[in-house]
């Protein structure tokens, strides 16, 4: 039982309760707990088994939830979830996977139209009944139709951090069994895509049949799909598929290259091999029947006259040409980061004080962080008005005065209002060390209006960066329809940075837009959008995103030591 598995059960309880009209506070408690657990840095299973930590010390976990976690860890299931599920038709929960359909809408469809499954929904749509329901416009109808089509052909993709939890656990388990020499998770996971379809693990071993046996009896396996002496496929609880392949050491590099992909990268590479009279496959690079390379990836690329390429770049977006000309970027690394520039505290919707956030950041060897609680417009999170914000800044000044070698930047996540104005007056913004402006409201405005709001914010003298610039939520909400070329050009001209938000649910800017923004001359900041001290490790995902966009340390302002960072901010340069 990994943390995401526990979180999923709590999310399901929240969905089921909401469909069944339970008390909203109870629904919220399960939802918040799910989020806390999903992002909790240590495996709860280990904590429960060790019995050394009181689970109620985790923010948002009370006695009742602690007991339920223990129940899940020890029995593998949650009776409450099973009870609630029995009260509803089985197909109803599948409807929640359709984009745009949350528990509230599913409840309406069920109550008013007796829709119990995806098939029922399709019929109701065709009969024109759905558009008559309150809150279901023509746009929504279109989305549901598209979603119904997709739900049938594509399986759900898992967020990178959840897949990482699963991957890390299964790799540790395989290694602990002995007999594994080399092991690597290839595929989209190694390319660090923001979502993962399935995990592709490669091993070399003297006893591959035993490794396959051990794999099939892993505790989190729900179903063994297939199993042989050198290959096996399983499905874990929660549905993630894992393929395991054992290969001979002489072919390990070739297999790693092939199964890392992407498919489009492999197609291009194979063509280059053919042009040079080679044959390339997962067993090696061959001249006739002779294998000329295969032990390492570098051997294969180099034999083809190419530099070795970091997996994050292997998307057939021009990396092969750069590798041939020895012009690949020197991608930024996690150890380049000197600070984190978006995080929330218990003053708004975070779970930790600024002191606790700073302490956690120090442990990561950062020199600085920005505390960016929400501004007043975001009432849902108890956003800060000028009075409360100034009080927080005063407390930060006092903390900084006593701290050695670490600085908290006085900051705010400033809302760009629906009318394009900023949520706080200039005299307040002038007192900040750093301001990141974001959009949370008016997401359905026309492209022109959204673009205008972002461009105006980018040009404002006290806005240093635009945060989560597209507003996308991975797998849940598409970027809002703004002209990101216009926004990028405005940022480059004004000296406003664009944020790469590494929160696994955001991953925003998306990689292709970030790569384009770099071409327009934009500079970037990386952040985690942490809501608890344990989230600061999300920086890894911001770095993944930056690497996929081809960014180097010099493209990113918070790779600089504090003084240099502050010199580069817009507010210092005018
Ligand atoms: P995913 O699992 O959907 O997140 O994405 P990948 O990239 O992990 O794709 P997957 O698991 O289907 O296959 C793993 C790698 O194997 C893929 O990145 C490239 C390689 N591969 C799979 N099928 C083909 C193929 O038909 N041709 C070539 N050249 N490579 C393939
Ligand atoms: Ca895969
Ligand atoms: Ca696969
Ligand atoms: Zn935000």
- Per-block mean pLDDT, blocks of 10 residues, the chain (574 long): 92 92 91 89 89 84 92 91 88 79 87 87 88 81 78 70 95 96 98 97 96 96 96 93 98 98 97 97 97 98 98 97 97 98 95 95 98 92 94 98 95 97 97 98 94 98 98 90 96 98 97 97 98 95 98 98 97 86
Question: pLDDT value at position 152?
Answer: 53
Query: Hey, whose CA ends up nearest to atom 16 of ligand 1?
Result: 259
Name the residue of 194, 266, 271, 316 whose CB sits within 8 Å of the most ligand 1 atoms, as the mutation to test its pocket: 266
Query: Hey, whose CA ends up nearest to atom 3 of ligand 1?
Result: 197
Question: Which atom of ligand 1 approaches the CA of 243 most closely?
Answer: 11
Query: Hey, whose CA ends up nearest to atom 1 of ligand 1?
Result: 197
Distance from the CA of 100 to the center of ligand 4, in angstroms? 20
User: 114 burial class (0-12, 13-18, 19+ CB within 10 angstroms)?
Assistant: exposed
Distance from the CA of 241 to the center of ligand 2, in angstroms? 9
Residue entry with tokens 């492209």: 447
Query: Hey, whose CA ends up nearest to atom 21 of ligand 1?
Result: 263
535-571 in b/e burial notation, b at 16+ Cβ within 10 A? bbbbbbbbbbbbbbbbbbbebbbbbbebeebbebbbb
User: 222 burial class (0-12, 13-18, 19+ CB within 10 angstroms)?
Assistant: exposed
Query: Hey, whose CA ends up nearest to atom 9 of ligand 1?
Result: 187
Q: How do the residues of the chain divide into helix, strand and coil, expressed in percent and rounded to 5?
A: 50, 15, 35
Question: pLDDT value at position 153?
Answer: 43
User: Which ligand does the CA of 527 lie closest to?
Assistant: 4
Name the residue of 158, 164, 191, 263 whose CB sits within 8 Å of the most ligand 1 atoms, as the mutation to test its pocket: 263
Question: pLDDT value at position 154?
Answer: 47
**DSSP-assigned letters across all residues of 381-406:** GTPBPHHHHHHHHHHHHHHHHH-SS-
Query: Hey, whose CA ends up nearest to atom 19 of ligand 1?
Result: 261
Whether 103 is in the pocket of ligand 1, judged by its Cβ within 6 Å, is no
Question: pLDDT value at position 356?
Answer: 96
Whether 281 is in the pocket of ligand 1, judged by its Cβ within 6 Å, is no
Query: Hey, whose CA ends up nearest to atom 23 of ligand 1?
Result: 263
Whether 554 is in the pocket of ligand 1, judged by its Cβ within 6 Å, is no
User: Phi and psi of 551, rounded to 5°?
Assistant: -85, 145
Question: Which atom of ligand 1 approaches the CA of 189 most closely?
Answer: 8
DSSP reduced 3-state for 167:
helix
Question: Which atom of ligand 1 approaches the CA of 262 most closely?
Answer: 18
CA distance 553 to 191: 19
Question: pLDDT value at position 89?
Answer: 85
Whether 432 is in the pocket of ligand 1, judged by its Cβ within 6 Å, is no
Whether 502 is in the pocket of ligand 1, judged by its Cβ within 6 Å, is no
Query: Hey, whose CA ends up nearest to atom 28 of ligand 1?
Result: 263
Question: pLDDT value at position 204?
Answer: 98
Name the residue of 154, 167, 200 whose CB sits within 8 Å of the most ligand 1 atoms, as the mutation to test its pocket: 200
Whether 311 is in the pocket of ligand 1, judged by its Cβ within 6 Å, is no
Whether 535 is in the pocket of ligand 1, judged by its Cβ within 6 Å, is no
Question: pLDDT value at position 499?
Answer: 98
Question: pLDDT value at position 150?
Answer: 65
Whether 259 is in the pocket of ligand 1, judged by its Cβ within 6 Å, is yes
Whether 197 is in the pocket of ligand 1, judged by its Cβ within 6 Å, is yes
Q: What token pair was written down for 533? A: 């001290």
Whether 200 is in the pocket of ligand 1, judged by its Cβ within 6 Å, is yes
CA atoms within 13 A on the CB side of 137: 1
Distance of CA 464 to the CA centre of its chain: 24
**DSSP-assigned letters across all residues of 359-370:** HHHHHTT-SEEE
CB neighbour list of residue 220: distance below 8 Å, 6 or more residues apart: 1, 2, 5, 166, 169, 170, 236, 237
Q: Quick check: 133 and 108 in contact, CB under 8 A?
A: yes
DSSP reduced 3-state for 499:
strand
Domains annotated on the chain, with CATH: 3-152 (1.10.150.110), 158-246 (3.30.460.10), 251-324 (3.30.210.10), 334-573 (3.20.20.140)
């Amino acid at each position: 039982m990994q943390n995401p598995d526990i979180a999923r059960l709590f999310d399901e309880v929240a969905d089921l309760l909401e469909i069944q009209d339970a008390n909203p506070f109870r629904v919220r408690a399960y939802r918040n707990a799910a989020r806390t657990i999903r992002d909790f840095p240590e495996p709860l299973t280990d904590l429960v088994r060790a019995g050394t930590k009181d689970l109620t010390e985790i923010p948002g976990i009370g006695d009742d939830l602690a007991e339920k976690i223990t129940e899940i860890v020890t029995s593998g299931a949650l009776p409450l979830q099973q009870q609630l599920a029995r009260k509803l038709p089985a197909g109803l929960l599948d409807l929640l996977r359709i984009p745009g359909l949350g528990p509230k809408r599913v409840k309406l469809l069920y109550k008013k139209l007796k829709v119990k499954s995806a098939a029922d929904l399709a019929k109701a749509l065709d009969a024109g009944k759905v558009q008559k329901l309150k809150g279901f416009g023509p746009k929504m109808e279109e989305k549901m139709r598209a979603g119904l089509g997709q739900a049938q052909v594509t399986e759900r993709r898992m967020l990178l951090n959840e897949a990482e939890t699963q991957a890390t656990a299964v790799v540790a388990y395989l290694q602990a069994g002995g007999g594994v020499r080399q092991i690597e998770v290839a595929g989209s996971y190694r390319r660090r895509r923001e979502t993962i379809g399935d995990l592709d693990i490669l091993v070399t071993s003297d006893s591959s049949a035993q490794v396959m046996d051990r794999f099939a009896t892993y505790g989190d396996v729900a179903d063994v799909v297939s199993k042989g002496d050198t290959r096996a496929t399983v499905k874990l609880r929660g549905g993630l598929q894992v393929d395991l392949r054992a290969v001979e050491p002489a072919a390990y590099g070739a297999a790693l290259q092939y199964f890392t992909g992407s498919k489009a990268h492999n197609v291009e590479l194979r063509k280059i091999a053919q042009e040079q009279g080679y044959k390339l496959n997962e067993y090696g690079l061959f001249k006739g029947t002779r294998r000329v390379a295969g032990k390492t990836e570098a051997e294969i690329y180099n034999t083809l006259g190419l530099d070795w390429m970091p997996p994050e770049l292997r998307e057939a977006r021009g990396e092969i040409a750069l590798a041939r000309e020895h012009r690949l970027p020197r991608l930024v690394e996690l150890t380049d980061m000197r600070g984190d520039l978006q995080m929330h505290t218990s003053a708004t919707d975070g779970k930790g004080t600024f002191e606790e956030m700073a302490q956690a950041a120090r442990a990561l060897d950062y020199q600085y962080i920005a505390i960016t609680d929400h501004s007043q417009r975001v009432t849902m999170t108890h956003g800060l008005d000028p009075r409360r914000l100034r009080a927080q800044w005063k407390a930060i000044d006092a903390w900084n005065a006593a701290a050695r070698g670490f600085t908290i930047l006085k900051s705010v996540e400033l809302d760009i209002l629906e009318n394009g104005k900023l949520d706080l007056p200039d005299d307040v913004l002038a007192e900040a060390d750093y301001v990141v402006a974001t959009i949370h409201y008016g997401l359905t405005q026309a492209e022109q209006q959204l673009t205008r709001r972002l461009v105006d914010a980018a040009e404002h003298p006290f806005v240093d960066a635009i945060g989560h610039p597209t507003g996308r939520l991975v797998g849940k909400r598409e970027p809002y329809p703004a002209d990101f070329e216009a926004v990028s050009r405005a940022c480059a001209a004004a000296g406003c940075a664009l944020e790469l938000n590494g929160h696994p649910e955001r991953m925003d800017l998306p990689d292709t837009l970030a790569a384009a923004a770099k071409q327009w001359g934009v500079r970037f900041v990386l952040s985690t959008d942490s809501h608890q001290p344990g989230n600061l490790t999300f920086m890894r995902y911001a770095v993944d995103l930056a690497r996929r966009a081809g960014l180097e340390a010099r493209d990113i302002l918070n790779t600089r030591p504090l003084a240099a960072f502050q010199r580069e901010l817009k507010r210092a340069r005018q």
